[in-house]
Amino acid sequence: MPRKPDLTTPSTSPRRSTKKQLEELRWYLEEYIRFPGAGDRVRAGKLERNLDQWGRRLFETIFAGDEGRRIADSLMEGAQAARNGDAGDKKAPMLTIASTEVAILAQPWELMRDQDGLLALRGVTIRRQLRETKTLPRYHFRLPLRILLIVARPDNAGFIDPRNSIPPILDAVESLPGKIQVDFCEPPTFEELQNRIRAAKREGRPYHIIHFDGHGSMMEIDVPNQPVTEMGVLCFENDANKIDPVRGLILGKLLSENHVPVVILEACRGAYLSDQPAYASVAPALLQSGVGSVVAFSHTVHVEAARILVARFYAELVKGASVGRAVDEARAALRDRPQRWLSRGPDAETLDHLDWFIPQLYQAGDDPVLLNQLAARNDAAPPRGAENDKKPAWKRWVRAIGWGTPTGHTLPPKYRETRSP
């Protein structure tokens, strides 16, 4: 069998006509799901029917000509072998879109399909990369796997109930007692993050994953000696519980210097690309700064979709999957469970929504396995005292982050309004 390709880039730029398609896709993913009217459903149905054709055009952009077809055949042979268990020690093939052009990185490459179907759902890990990404150090992971969770809900940003997405992470932790440690960055300020990250490195136990649960946005930022420009930011909280925007390059520098290899951006538009240079957006900026793997959303994601994604991603990690493979499985879970509710309540109306391709993987270097198969065996003794705590994981989290917190940090009113007994 020919050698499986690891890296390929678009041979030609995507057609200019797709800019209108990208705007229509944004409407479908972000606006339609909020208030779908009768006319909107017709419009959405047309877009859904056109996704297959769009995916075929993207495939032809990458795999043009006879040589491109040979590479594609080799890629799919490798994916099939991996699915059948015939690949030996080799990982499933990866398709890396390497570019610095926003017009290329912004394309929904996850939609690529040949005559047999979608590549991303048939064993090919699709990832993005900046062409001049620096060489990254190789990290050696030791147990326990350390995760730092940042749950930021500034008063002047839209509120998202954190109990929708945090419990799946804690369920994964409980499935491997003693092998995963989760800390909360409380209060969720950038200063607190800096203190925790630096202390962890200084003590010889750096964090493996930073998981940001909050808002991401594009804001006009006044950078010294540069014109005002639109930059991707994550919305941390300041001491007054208001938005403290932190640019991707600043966050990435902090994480890279303190040996954090993986970032999960469960944030609105963490991978959104504007007309600014690619590094102006958060996910590419983190990669440029030296973070090895970034999982982010290209568009605002429905709360139920975020819950499904997080649950499957961490469940796969604890089974010993690589970061890329865990993202693949999370996308498949979204595709298999497309129902999204339109309002809360037992009789809430739902609709099927094709949002499985929103998660994007930005990655440089190897696709790391954070918990190998040996470590993922559930044979460790529970942590001391765990047998005496019968509360469900999410209730222990509620208690830990401030509803009775020993730190005395005052939570924003919206937290207190949604607390559970």
Report the alpha-carbon distance of residue 180 to residue 382 in Å, rounded: 11
Burial of 412 (0-12, 13-18, 19+ CB in 10 A): middle
Q: State both tokens at 57.
A: 């055009």
- 3 state DSSP class of 331: helix
- The closest alpha carbon to 330, from 369, 287, 361, belongs to 361
Residue 261 neighbours by CB under 8 Å, 6+ apart: 136, 139, 208, 291, 292, 293, 368
Exposure letters 126-165 (e unless 16+ CB within 10 A, then b)? bbbbbeebeebeebebeebbbbbbbbbbbeebeebebeeb
What would the mean pLDDT of 73-91 be, rounded to a whole number?
Answer: 79
Beta-sheet strands, E only, within 337-388: 339-341, 350-352, 359-363
Evaluate whether 36 touches 351 at the Cβ level (below 8 Å).
yes
- 3 state DSSP class of 402: coil
* pLDDT for res 221: 66
Domain boundaries, the chain: 18-129, 145-418
Long-range contacts of 137-141 (CB under 8 A, 24+ apart): 137/259, 138/365, 138/366, 139/208, 139/259, 139/261, 139/292, 139/368, 141/208, 141/368, 141/369, 141/370, 141/371
Neighbours of 384 (CB within 10 A): 8
* pLDDT for res 408: 34
226-236 pLDDT, tens digit per residue, is: 665 677 889 99
* pLDDT for res 403: 38
Average of per-residue pLDDT values in the chain: 79
> To 10 degrees, the CA torsion angle through 66, 67, 73, 79?
-150
Report the alpha-carbon distance of residue 130 to residue 133 in Å, rounded: 5
Window from 174-188, 198-212, 250-264, 380-394 with minimum mean pLDDT = 380-394
Angle between helices 190-202 and 248-257 (to 10 degrees): 20
32-52 pLDDT, tens digit per residue, is: 998 888 889 999 999 999 999
Q: Residue 267: beta bridge partners?
A: 214
Evaluate whether 172 touches 317 at the Cβ level (below 8 Å).
yes
User: Which of left, alpha, beta for 320 (phi over 0: left; psi -120 to 50: alpha)?
Assistant: left
E strand or H helix at 264: strand 262-267
Q: What is the pTM of this model?
A: 0.83
CATH no. of 145-418: 3.40.50
Report the alpha-carbon distance of residue 308 to residue 337 in Å, rounded: 8
147-178 pLDDT, tens digit per residue, is: 999 999 898 877 666 666 677 777 777 777 77
- The half-sphere exposure of 87 on its side-chain side, counting CA atoms within 13 A, is 21
* pLDDT for res 421: 32
| Residue with the larger pLDDT of the pair 185 and 230 | 185
Report the alpha-carbon distance of residue 295 to residue 265 in Å, rounded: 6
269-291 pLDDT, tens digit per residue, is: 545 555 554 455 889 889 989 99
* pLDDT for res 210: 96
